[in-house]
Structure 1
Amino acid sequence: MKFVDEALIDVAAGDGGNGCVSFRHEKYKEFGGPNGGDGGRGGHVYAVADPNLNTLVDFRYTRRFEAQRGEHGMGSDMFGAAGSDITLKMPVGTLICDAETGEVLYELLTPGEVITIAKGGDGGFGNLRFKSAINRAPRQKTPGWPGEKKSLKLELKVLADVGLLGLPNAGKSTLITAISNARPKIADYPFTTLHPNLGVVRVGPEQSFVVADIPGLIEGASEGAGLGHQFLRHLQRTRLLLHVVDLAPFDDSDPVAQAKAIVAELKKYDAALHEKPRWLVLNKLDMIPVEEREARVQDFVKRYKYKGPVFQISALTHEGCDVLVKTVYKQVRAQQKAEQAPAPEEIDPRFKDLPDEA
């Protein structure tokens, strides 16, 4: 199935039904009075976060969604029925934006979360509503209110704890295959990965985290080279980035220059994404003779001027992957606990300078 992470749709809630003008006509009841009912409300348009979906492909071909309008009011005090609602199923992590202004209207972040994206119009009043002591035979009624109509842009940002960043053919797909249940396409040519892949990494009983692999980024992506920046949004919600570097490129290019170019493109795209915790993963150790590995790693770290955590692995042979997984899990859990910790209560400024009680 084709991966789709952007879609444009139009939604229209149902209009409310019109009110009715009617009078009671019954034998021996010459002045029966008004009995026109109200119109029914129009149907709403809802969006629900479905954890079983991972793409917006359903909205690529069907782009307009209309809820049913409410029925009109009728005589004999009969109110119109409400229009049927419609519910649109979307993947968890979907942003719903205004198509014209780009403003983010809603976010679906929790499985099963339901939001109202277009509200149906209220029904109009029948003449029964206008009856009073001085107006015994009202002939007024009101039309139903129109339902909301919106043009929306849907953007999917996958929800993952860890994101893999690197050049094409750096070994990201091999790594996610080695440590998780994901099985992306792997080949010996660039841009094998054409859409994000998610994998669940099992560390132990009830201990796991989610890792995301996106298509490789190359220098000049901000100008449209390669696949551009179109998939970098999927890293914005991650807690940690793993920068995978090919330590033995087949074209004898400089890994340090390549790594710096990727970081520069990341900064151009989003400064906040650039500031996320980013660890260095030096891959393809199996391609380097054992006696040269330590010197090659030290040379890279020195010229790259990197002071954070460095992991030496071979995704193909799984060498070093176990240490990487366990360390990443500890970091993810620490960030999760920090996010769940209650915020400290703020002290009223009027009482900050009061002396402590003895």
Structure 2
Amino acid sequence: MLLIIEPFYGGSHKQLIDIMTRGLNSEQYLLIQMKAKKWHWRARSSALWLSQNIPENLDNFSVVFCSSVLNLCELVGLRPDLHSIRKIMYFHENQLIYPVQQLKDRDFQYGYNQILSALVADEIYFNSMYNLNSFLDNISKHFKPQPDYKPNFDAIKSKIASKSEVLYFPIYEELKSIAPVIKSENVDRGPLKIVWPHRWEHDKNPDSFFNTISKLKDEGLDFRICVLGECYSECPDVIIRIKKDLESHIHWFGYADSREKYYEILEESDVVVSTANHEFFGVAMLEAVYLGCYPLVPNRLVYPELYPVECLYNTDNQLFNMLKSFILNPSLVRTMSSINIDFQKFNKNKFNSILDK
């Protein structure tokens, strides 16, 4: 039996669990979860609450599956009966390279918890090679503020690397359930629609998107934007400015209250943009591409791993020029052949084989 533990049951974390458990019955798995609120507190203290709410009798469980939000090291210390059960940890992200302006601003504990959890886990899976490599390569750097008695970083890296693999987020089955869109060049679909489908937080770099779109507006260009997403904590001021200053260009603004509506907005859009400073996979971007949007992504983070070179930009000015050319001639993007992305590599088969070991 599978025991799934998720301290942050929302967004892509919930989506992954929903995909994993689809087709399973209540006798095959048990989910212990906490609502997707106050991420920082979930990372700090969820292990104590979870230790009290995981069943006392674990004889029927052979696998524990958790995300890297959980401090697995603390949980196993509080519940030593978990020690003998095969423990699988999935990294949606890692805190060793969370963007901060200065090293002193980084909260040491979040990354430290993830390192300890990786040492305790039996198997570790990262959602991209970029996620895996950035975690391993930054272990020693993360300990830089520690004044003395530093651990053997090579030994830590080697131990974690020996049980780590890349396991892409299994979005393919969900994508197959929605028909990919073929957008006809003969239909007058109006001004170019640009979609920005991201969580409303600073690491997704909404300032860059706002500045680029504002420049396009200042040139008198006719286009529409769809700003999808939601805030999990404080909403960046720039999001409010987008709604106010670009009101005349907004086609959609805010959270889509159903999956169907969300897909409908993506289907209506022509170009999907990321300006992120922090991205390890990007489910929303791939969903948009599958539904016919042309991706423009920064040449950094996970994006060069997943997207062809013609979709990458190096500077905000390059992004501006690419968007401007599409706005002036929407047929350029509407008549393009599909982007060369092998969506089948994002399938569920490897997840099934891992859990069935």
Per the normalisation by structure 1, the TM-score is: 0.28
Task: Indicate the structure (1 or 2) with the bigger Cα radius of gyration.
Answer: 1
Which structure's residues are more often helix, by fraction? 2
Which structure's residues are more often strand, by fraction? 1
